[in-house]
Chain A
């Protein structure tokens, strides 16, 4: 276990050193991500400034959902998004053997060796907007923050699970850079109050592909708008991650090494 921690920390240092080598690119890409975060909730702001609303939700409450979503996406980008791109690239080039030859789990190696610093801007933008939105919706109780952290972690688990499923698909659907679009479209359901969607969508977004855990549930916890049953949704999140790890490892066995 300790050796894994050491490997991870060493790889982390290397990732930051690499980012430092291309400082201008690092700053530029993070600045753009930060700006896109500021502009991302523009649609919500324009809807409310035009006199419309999501019934029962104030503008700052909806912005809170969207900023928590960004924050969660930022962490997931840093920690586990590389699994998709690195796997996809290796499979396309037929060079996944270089990963398989390492004396550690391929999954752990890719996650450690490819910490993505571009998620920092996304996280920083999401965090800033979360703080601003939280201030506007009122003082948040300590208990709500604890609930938020548990659900936020569950949301990260979902995003990691999604990355693993996408990476697993890339073993079969070689070189298709549009795979993420499929799952990004599903994630849209986590950016808005779940109550606006019909019952079927709510069940899928809560228990089957629990994208509601990425933004909606943690933000609702901060607002004190959740019941005890919400924590039941953590179970499918964990199951989703287990499924992701299982399918990824299973798909490795199908790797043929011919590229595509």
Chain B
């Protein structure tokens, strides 16, 4: 119990400092208040034109599709992460050494930082855009099943962090991991469903995606949020989809720890 209390205090302290630090750049976050709605407007017109008189495409109606893109943008604000960039920078410059000397696991420190950073994102990106989508664009943005949605978004938050952290750990082997990060971001953008819902992909691709982490960062939480009754190629119900998401997150967490233990042995602290 004392251990958990101690961890909570650590997390709260780091998150608070990160929140304060990034508050100095809160106007940067407010860029999202313009960018998010503009991207949404583009998607709105694209999909309105694409649907035309069609009632349903890839199992989704136009209103669901519009909600999907609105919700995807909002989830992006809550789960946004650059732990990969941060870690590879620390390894490349040798500054990671300072974290090895601290009595706190760097991954936990980075997760706490992300929590603080995203709390700021919640106030300066998520809330303004949610209000714009709901009151200006008149989209029904209220989650169909609130508790499942909160759980799913939290899991997406963790999944995004842990996968990015694993990508960042490639710096222990490559020093300069910019290329790997770029490749991952490219693949992730496509297969997370941020570009287009995964139901538009061929069934084989959708089936493969069930075993990869991408869809658990965006597509699944977005589908849970809009309350789709049949999610993904396997036709999961909402509880089943969240359960799969939980299992996927647990697997990635274990993988992250195994990779960390192997990677940290490669660290020379020389910098480059």
| A52 and B50 contact, Cβ closer than 8 Å, known pairs A46-B196, A46-B201 | yes
| A51 and B57 contact, Cβ closer than 8 Å, known pairs A25-B179, A32-B186 | yes
| A42 and B196 contact, Cβ closer than 8 Å, known pairs A176-B31, A185-B35 | yes
Query: What does DSSP make chain B's interface, helix, strand, loop or mixed?
Result: helix
Is B1 interfacial (CB 8 A cutoff)? no
Which A residues from 41 to 89 make CB contacts under 8 A with B? Answer: 42-43, 46-47, 50-55
Which residue in A28, A42, A178 is a CB contact (below 8 Å) of B195? A42
Question: Which residue on chain B has the smallest CB distance to residue A52?
Answer: B50
Contacts of A176 in B (CB 8 A): 25, 27-28, 31
Contact (Cβ within 8 A) A196 B196: no
Contact (Cβ within 8 A) B42 A188: yes
State in angstroms the CA–CA spacing of A196 and B35 once bound together: 20
Query: In the complex, which range does the number of interface residues on chain A fall in?
Result: 35 or more
Contacts of A189 in B (CB 8 A): 42
Contacts of B27 in A (CB 8 A): 173, 176
State in angstroms the CA–CA spacing of A198 and B46 once bound together: 11
State the Cβ distance, B121 to closest chain A Cβ, in Å.
12
Contact with B along A193-216 (1 / 0, CB 8 A): 100111001000000000000000
Q: A181-B35, A188-B38 are in contact. List 10 more A-B contacts (CB 8 A).
A: A28-B179, A29-B179, A35-B183, A42-B190, A50-B200, A52-B52, A53-B50, A179-B31, A196-B46, A196-B48
Supply 17 A–B pairs (Cβ within 8 Å), ascending by A.
Answer: A29-B178, A29-B182, A32-B186, A39-B190, A42-B190, A42-B196, A47-B50, A47-B196, A50-B57, A52-B54, A54-B50, A176-B27, A177-B28, A179-B31, A188-B42, A198-B45, A201-B45
Which residues of A pack against B, CB within 8 Å? Answer: 25, 28-29, 32, 35-36, 39, 42-43, 46-47, 50-55, 173, 176-179, 181-182, 184-186, 188-189, 192-193, 196-198, 201
